[in-house]
Amino acid sequence: MVYNTKPADSWNTCLNTTLEQEDKEIYDLIEQEKYRQFSGLELIASENFTSQAVMEANGSCLTNKYSEGLPGARYYGGNEYIDEVENICRQRALKAFNLNPEEWGVNVQPYSGSTANFAAFTALIQPHDRIMGLDLPSGGHLTHGYQTSKKKISSSSIYFESMPYQVDNATGVIDYDRLEQNAALFRPKLVICGASAYAREWDYPRFRKIADQHGAYLMCDMAHISGLVAAQEASNPFEYCDIVTTTTHKTLRGPRAGIIFFRKKNDIESRVNQAVFPSCQGGPHNNTIAGIAVALKQAGSPEFKQYAKQVRANASKLAETLTNYGYKIVTNGTDNHLVLWDLRPQKLTGSKLEKLCDLCHITLNKNAVHGDVSAVTPGGVRIGASALTSRSFKEDDFVKVGEFLHRAVQIALAAQEKAGSKLIKDFVVALEGNDDLKALHKEVQEFAKSFPMPGFDIETIKTEF
């Protein structure tokens, strides 16, 4: 077949040029970000490195298509392939979590974890109904009802009445007894389990019991641990919950999006589907749904099971290494992919260690630890093993990561003393020209660059800008 190759109209020639030719500014920034990801130690617990195949699907022509509605019942024409993509994605989602399609359904259209959660609330409860989720300073997510005494922060606390539960200040483990007592007073319509910074297993039977005492729905937001759940490296929330939401880009290692799983009982299926569209969203992002489908195929492989096992082994090794240096790890260890590190015994804030680590190309985040009084200067940091495990890090490599972190703390403590003030800007000034920091930065980069990099060809990575 010979196609008509007449040139595009002049106002359309920009549609067939490469990014590098078309927009050097953005192209260069992407190249710099690529190099940053490759040459640093990525320890943010909510991040991962997705695969080349996922990125290809995500960057495909599927981004051009509108498809409001569900497969077979769209508000737009031309969806024969999009329907297949979404159906495959839905089937793979159920299969990845071993769910019987007679009992469970799934909506793969949420744009992100936050919108998945809000759609789930919209489906299950009415405005001003009462919800109970883990408090943000205890490790919960904003969308689980976060508010302060001064302000309702999350829309989940603006539109619903929120009474959080918390971890026990002495142990850092969820205080189930207090949750049960408070639930007896508050009588929630919805109880939410799942978190952003909680390193221990969830007692799903206990949550179910508490929800049942009040005829409440039980929802799990397994965003952080969904890859571990798929690999059966974490206990299974589906056995106990009515609804399970997740992001797709953390331990599950897909593109950035959200999914809602629901039990097919009463009319939950139609309520969830309606809540996603048209209540909360418009057209689904089909390129992302294709990327999720690819990630779910990968998550069903024996290699992914090995990956998830290694994530947990690496996180445990890091907790052990830091403990051996004399540091305090919240709950004294971890059951999953993350480690919460309490820096208060060192009299160092999470913000300062985060800043210092940024300067030497180790990426992690400051995080509140139980008993913290100020959310502005959290007392710890959160560290995750998922991304570096995607770069083939093993336990010994995490011992090295622990050593780098220990050095980072030593440098931070010396700079803090030199700064003579609590202010982060003085801390940064005190670090200027610091030779130990420069040496650490160099070693971190050399170490990071000795590992494979998922998703892109390291031979073509630009190293100079």
Taking residue 407's Cβ as centre, other Cβ atoms within 10 Å add up to 17
Residue 52 CA from chain centroid, whole number: 19
**Annotation says 66 is catalytic:** yes
Query: What would the two tokens of residue 366 be?
Result: 């400051």
The identity of residue 439, as a single letter, is: A
3-state secondary structure of 1: coil
Could you give the string, one character per residue 226-265, with x where binding to ligand PLP holds by CB under 6 A and - elsewhere? ---------------------x--------x-x-------
Q: Strands of 248-290 (E only): list them.
A: 258-263
Which residue is catalytic, options 23, 28, 56, 68?
68
**Annotation says 247 is catalytic:** yes
Q: Which residue is nearest to ligand PLP (CB)?
A: 113
* Euclidean distance between CA atoms 174 and 287, whole angstroms: 38
Give 384 or 402: the residue with its C-beta nearer to ligand PLP: 384
Query: What would the two tokens of residue 49 be?
Result: 């490195």
Give 198 or 327: the residue with its C-beta nearer to ligand PLP: 198
* Interaction between residue 114 and ligand PLP (CB under 6 A): yes
Give 258 or 454: the residue with its C-beta nearer to ligand PLP: 258
Footprint of ligand PLP on residues 41-100 (CB under 6 A)? 46
Q: Which residue has the tokens 């509605």?
A: 69
Binding range to ligand PLP, per CB under 6 A, among 120-128, 219-227, 236-244, 309-317 = 219-227
**Nearest-approach distance from CB 26 to ligand PLP, in angstroms:** 22
**Annotation says 221 is catalytic:** yes
The identity of residue 387, as a single letter, is: A
Q: Which of 434, 421, 401 is nearest to 40 (CA)?
A: 401
DSSP at 323 = H
One of 223, 339, 362, 437 touching ligand PLP (CB under 6 A): 223
Taking residue 340's Cβ as centre, other Cβ atoms within 10 Å add up to 26
Taking residue 68's Cβ as centre, other Cβ atoms within 10 Å add up to 16
- Asked whether 378 and 372 are in contact (CB, 8 A), the reply is yes
**Nearest-approach distance from CB 229 to ligand PLP, in angstroms:** 13
* Interaction between residue 194 and ligand PLP (CB under 6 A): yes
Footprint of ligand PLP on residues 278-337 (CB under 6 A)? none
Query: What would the two tokens of residue 449 be?
Result: 């660059």
- Asked whether 193 and 179 are in contact (CB, 8 A), the reply is no
Footprint of ligand PLP on residues 126-155 (CB under 6 A)? 141, 143
Which residue is catalytic, options 92, 250, 317, 382?
250
Give 57 or 244: the residue with its C-beta nearer to ligand PLP: 244
Q: Which residue has the tokens 């002049």?
A: 10
**Nearest-approach distance from CB 193 to ligand PLP, in angstroms:** 10
Give 112 or 287: the residue with its C-beta nearer to ligand PLP: 112
* Interaction between residue 112 and ligand PLP (CB under 6 A): yes
Which residue is catalytic, options 143, 247, 248, 334?
247
**Nearest-approach distance from CB 247 to ligand PLP, in angstroms:** 4
- Asked whether 308 and 392 are in contact (CB, 8 A), the reply is no
Alpha helices in 325-349 (DSSP H): none
* Euclidean distance between CA atoms 417 and 434, whole angstroms: 14
Give 114 or 314: the residue with its C-beta nearer to ligand PLP: 114
Give 46 or 273: the residue with its C-beta nearer to ligand PLP: 46
One of 221, 233, 335, 397 touching ligand PLP (CB under 6 A): 221
- Asked whether 334 and 341 are in contact (CB, 8 A), the reply is no
**Nearest-approach distance from CB 363 to ligand PLP, in angstroms:** 15
Size of the site for ligand PLP (CB under 6 A): 16
**Nearest-approach distance from CB 24 to ligand PLP, in angstroms:** 30
**Nearest-approach distance from CB 428 to ligand PLP, in angstroms:** 27
* Euclidean distance between CA atoms 360 and 403, whole angstroms: 14
* Interaction between residue 113 and ligand PLP (CB under 6 A): yes
* Euclidean distance between CA atoms 287 and 299, whole angstroms: 18
The residues, ordered by sequence, that sit 6+ positions from 460 with a Cβ below 8 Å of its Cβ are none
**Annotation says 342 is catalytic:** no
Which residue is catalytic, options 256, 305, 407, 449?
256
Which residue is catalytic, options 66, 129, 320, 323?
66
Q: Which residue has the tokens 């005190």?
A: 430
* Interaction between residue 196 and ligand PLP (CB under 6 A): yes
**Annotation says 178 is catalytic:** no
**Nearest-approach distance from CB 181 to ligand PLP, in angstroms:** 25
Half-sphere exposure of 209 (CA within 13 A, CB side): 9
The identity of residue 419, as a single letter, is: A
- Which residues are tagged catalytic? 66, 68, 221, 247, 250, 256
Residues that bind ligand PLP (CB under 6 A): 46, 112-114, 117, 141, 143, 194-196, 221, 223-224, 247, 256, 258
